[in-house]
Amino acid sequence: MTGPDSELDPAGRVDWLRELIHEHNQAYYERDAPIIADADYDLLIRELRFLEEAHPDLITPESPTQSGVGGSPSEQFSPVEHRRRMMSLDNAMDLEELRSWGERTARRLADLGNDSTVRYVCELKIDGLAVSVRYENGRLVQAATRGDGRTGEDVTANVSGISAVPQMLGAGAPEVLEARGEIYMPLDSFQALRERVIAENVELAAKGNRQKPVPVNPRNAGAGSLRQKDASVTASRGLSWWCYQLGEIIGAEEPPAHSAALAWLSDMGIPVNPETKVVEDLDGVYEFCAYWIEHRHELPYEIDGVVIKIDDLAIQQALGATAKAPRWAIAFKLPPEERTTILLDIQVSIGRTGKATPFAVLQPVFVGGSTVGMSTLHNEDQVRHKDVRPGDTVILRKAGDVIPEVVGPVLELRPSGLPEWQFPRNCPSCAEPLIRHEGEAQHLCVNPQCPQKRWASICHFASRGAMDIDGLGEQQIASFLELGLMSDVADIYSLQAEPILQLPGYQQLSVQNLLSAIEASKSRPLGNLLFGLNILHLGAAGGQTIAAAFGSLDA
C-alpha cells in the first residue's frame, strides 16, 4: 500500500487516498467486513486532510474530509432521508489530542464572546451501528441506519424486533420524537452466535456445501444481523440498543442541555446508557477516559472509545459544525489492549495475485477478547522497520480491537546473537524466484502455475463479493485442483456432473446445486467479475467504478 509520492505528485496521492478510503468505507459500512485496522484508517484520513490543507486547490466537496465518512444506502433497503443530518465525529487518538480539542474549543468560545462555564457529557462509545428511531404520537413508525449521514436505509421491520427498542413510549410523548443511538450485539449474544455458526458449519462441511463466515467481532456481527432481509433473523440475534442523542422533536420544548435531553428520553422509556456522566471540566473528562481505559473489559458489550460532548445546547449551537463533524463533540479512541508473547517463526503466504506476504507465527496469547496465534507482517519493509526476529518476545495488540498486529520486539528480552530474518528468494509454494518491482513494497510470485496462487485466485473468484458461487468453497476447490478437474477460474464453467459424482461426499442433489450456482454466477454484475479476476491493485470499489464507466466488456 504505497501509491504515488506526495512530494512529486500530490494530486495523484490525493486521488489515490480518496479511492483507498472509499474502498475501506464500502468494506466497513456496506459489507460489514473491514479490511484495515481503525488506527490505519485514521492515518489515511489524516494524511488526506494534511495534503488538502497544503494544497487547497485539490479540495473537492466529495472528498471524505469534507463530506464525512459512511456508506451509501444499500439497494436491499429503501432509502430514508434524514431530516437532521447524522454527522460523524472527529477523533482524538490520545489524551494530548483530547486536551488540544478542549483548548481549541475554549479559544473559539472566547472569540465568540462566550465566557460561560462549560460542562461536558462523557458517554461510552459503543462499537455498533448508528440508527435513528422515529416515534409519532408515541408509536415507533420508522428506523433508519446512518448511511452517509444524509440518507440511510429503512430498517424499521428489523429494529422493531429488537426487545430493547420500545414500540410505544410512555405518557406525554410528543407528536414527533426522533431518538438516535447505537444498535449493538452484547458479548453473550456474540458468543452464542459464534457457537451456532460453528455447529452449522460442521453440518455444511459434511454435505460439501460452502461454510458460513464465523463472526469475528461483535461490531460486524451486530451490523450484519441488523441488515438481514428476514426480520425474524434479526430478532433471533439478541441485539440491544442505547440511545445517545435527541434528534427531531415536534410538539414539545427541547431541553436546554444534552444531559437533560437524555434524562427526558429515559423518562419516555428509551434506554440510555447508565455509565453516561456529566463532568464539570476537562480534568473530569480525562479521569473518565482513564477509568475506562482500565475497566473497558468489565462491560458486557464492547466499546472503542469515549464520546465527549459539550452539555449546553446553546453553546453547541454557537460552535456549529464543519462539513463533516460538530465542533462541540469529539470521540476519544481507547488505545488497543497489548500483550507480550513469543514470535515462533516468520512464514510467507502467497495470495491470489501472487503477493508474497510474511506473517508471524506466535505462541498463542489471549488479547482483545480472543486467542491469537498468527498476525500479518505485511511486507519485507515492515519486518525490517519493526526489527522482529523469530525467537523474540514481541508486543501484540488488536489494532482497532479487531486485527492482530505485532507492534515490535521487547529488545531487553532478545536472546544474544539472534539473527535477522531473511525474506525467502523463492516462492514457498512453487519454488520459483520471487520478484520485487522498483517502488513496490510487495514481493510477487509471477508463476501462473503456482499451486497456492491458483488455489487462492479461484477461491477469491468464487467468493461473496465476487462471483458468489455457493458450494464452491476452499476445500472443494483444493480437491478439484488436486484431481485435475480445474486449473484456473475459466475451468469452473467447464465442470461436469459425472466426474464430481465420483468424489466422496457428493450426491446428485449437491452436484446439481453446485452446477446451478455456477450457472447463476454468469449473471453477476460486471463490477463483481472485474473484482473476481484477481487484477493486481484492483479492489471491489475500483471494479465497480470501471464497470460504471464502461458498462460492459464490449465497450
Q: What value, to the nearest 5°, has the Cα angle with vertex 107 and ends 102 and 110?
A: 125
**Cα separations (Å) of 76 from 29, 149, 155, 158?**
14, 18, 10, 13
Tell me whether the CATH fold assigned to 80-333 matches the one assigned to 448-524. Answer: no
The CATH code that applies to domain 80-333 is 3.30.470.30
2.130.10.10, 3.40.309.10, 3.40.50.2000, 1.10.150.20: which CATH number matches 448-524? 1.10.150.20
Distance (Å, whole) CA 423 – CA 440:
15
Q: Which candidate, 408, 400, 540, places its Cα nearest to that of 42?
A: 400
163, exposed or middle or buried, with CB in 10 Å at 0-12, 13-18, 19+? exposed
Q: How far apart are CA 406 and CA 190, in angstroms?
A: 26
The set of cell numbers assigned to 350 is 502467497
Structure confidence at residue 3 (pLDDT)? 66
> Which H or E element spans position 526?
helix 526-532
CATH of 10-69, one of 3.40.50.620, 1.10.3210.10, 3.30.565.10, 1.10.287.610: 1.10.287.610
pLDDT of the residue at 74: 47
Per-residue CA distances from 309 to 56, 253, 266, 537 (Å): 30, 21, 18, 40
* Dihedral over alpha carbons 385, 374, 184, 290 (to 10 degrees): -50
Rounded to two decimals, the pTM is 0.64
Q: Are 144 and 158 in contact (CB under 8 A)?
A: no
Q: How far apart are CA 465 and CA 79, in angstroms?
A: 22
What distance in Å separates the CA atoms of residue 387 and residue 246, rounded to the nearest whole number?
50
Q: Are strands 91-92 and 329-333 parallel, antiparallel or unpaired?
A: parallel
Residues with catalytic function: 125
Q: What tens digit of pLDDT does each residue of 288-340 get?
A: 999 999 899 899 999 989 999 999 999 999 999 988 899 999 999 988 778 89
Distance CA 447, CA 426 (A): 11
Spell out, as residue ranges, where the chain has pLDDT lower than 50.
72-74
Contacts of 43 (CB under 8 A, 6+ apart): none
Cell of 112: 465568540
pLDDT per position as a tens digit, 462-478: 998 899 998 898 889 99
Q: Which fold has domain 336-445?
A: OB fold (Dihydrolipoamide Acetyltransferase, E2P) (2.40.50)
**Can you give the residue ranges of every domain in the chain?**
10-69, 80-333, 336-445, 448-524
371: β partners? 366
For residues 403 and 482, give the distance between their C-alpha atoms in angstroms, rounded to a whole number: 32
Alpha-carbon span 380 to 177, nearest angstrom: 55
